Amino acid sequence: MLNKDSARVIALKAICLVALEKRSLSESLFPIHGDDLSFAKSLAFGSIRFYHHLNDIITPRLKKPLEKKNLDLHCLLVLGAYQIIYTDISKHAAINETVEVAKIIDKPWATGFINAVLRGIDRDQKVIIESKHFSHPSWLIKKIKKDYPEDYENILSENNRKAPLSIRVHPSIDRDEFQKELEELNIHSQASDISSQGLIIKDAVNVHKLPNFQNGSCYVQDISAQLAGYLIAPKKGDYILDACSAPGGKTTHIAELCEETEVVALDSDKIRVQKVFENINRLKVKNVTVVQGDATNKDWWSKRLFDKILIDAPCSGTGVIRRHPDIKLLRKVKDVSQATKIQAQILENLWGLLKPGGELVYATCSILKVENEYQIKSFLDKFQDAKNVDIEIPWGEGKIGKQKLPEENFDGFYYAKLLKR
């Protein structure tokens, strides 16, 4: 059982890995399991979620910049300030226990410094709370404001909220019955009106507490992401490609919806390909072939044309910041332009692998128009045999494809559906 001091040390290490070493939260917290560490996770995710705001609170209070070897103390101040400004933790406990961490990490000389800065923040918290701060990097605020001048403040606010736990119930299981099983375990859920298999669990729980999770009863997947399977609409005899398929959520959904299809799951990353295998095995899916290969070339292709293709394109991830707040620290403006180039390469390469009369669904978990609507418009202008197909679901907006902005029960996602004439 962890004590609170140990939890804060683990949270500090995670914050340092993201802020100083530019590694992801999922990587830093991946070995952590169990309820004992939920407090550490909440501190780490919260501190990173509001890092830009907390950094702007702390920096003016430092008489001089910290030396590189002591930048972990800056992260410790972020951890302490997060507890003071954004949690219900007793301010006295938050300050004292954060100061104690300085001793645990062998920097007892810094305790007075940490204490003074955090007490100053505590004294000024009323003014701090009342001031507006979006807690996003300036380049991203600028891009979102340009694309959504009327909605950008709401988008930034939604990005700073915690996302719910959404699951996709296996189609062989009655969703209503599964929901009753959850209620018996005191796990409260809401049925999605967009996904017939979707349930939204407001208070996140350890997935291993879900009924028969290990035996494939359900898959953790946002409601927006669940729409990919329905848009592909697999039917008997279809030969379907899921490009950039890891970790396998959309692959397994397509395969589950129609077991008399052949699905090829393609991904270039060896480690992520293993994740696809793990999910296929847990969900007991039989009609999937996993291939390691690069979607920008044809080296992996068997020369058999596909009836349908799903491109779950690599993107900025700006629609899933609620789930991955480290995106705000790790992503740079140049990454967006690099992503758009790769997206265009994948679209052009895989279009040649689609049968005439076949359909291609393009998806991203981005809200930036350059990756979505503008990307597809450019493709349609270049390929005369491509026709935009209207997406007739009460989800999202748009003339070319549909864009959903992040909101309470949905991640930000974009879908476009193209027919090959």
Between the CA of residue 140 and those of 44, 84, 358, what are the distances in Å?
22, 26, 36
* Helix%, strand%, coil% for the chain, nearest 5: 50, 15, 35
- In whole angstroms, what is the distance from residue 291 CA to residue 177 CA? 36
* Residue closest to 219 by CA, chosen among 194, 181, 254: 254
Q: How many other CB atoms sit within 10 Å of the CB of residue 229?
A: 27
Known catalytic residues? 365
Which amino acid would we find at residue 96? Answer: N
- In whole angstroms, what is the distance from residue 405 CA to residue 58 CA? 31
- In whole angstroms, what is the distance from residue 199 CA to residue 192 CA? 6
Which amino acid would we find at residue 139? Answer: W
At 79, list the tokens. 């951890």
How many angstroms separate the most distant Cα atoms in the chain? 71
Exposed, middle or buried, 86 (CB in 10 Å: 0-12/13-18/19+)?
A: middle
For the residues of 105-140, what is the DSSP string, one character each?
Answer: TT-GGGHHHHHHHHHHHHHTHHHHHHS----S-HHH
Cα angle: 54, vertex 94, 3; to 5 degrees: 120
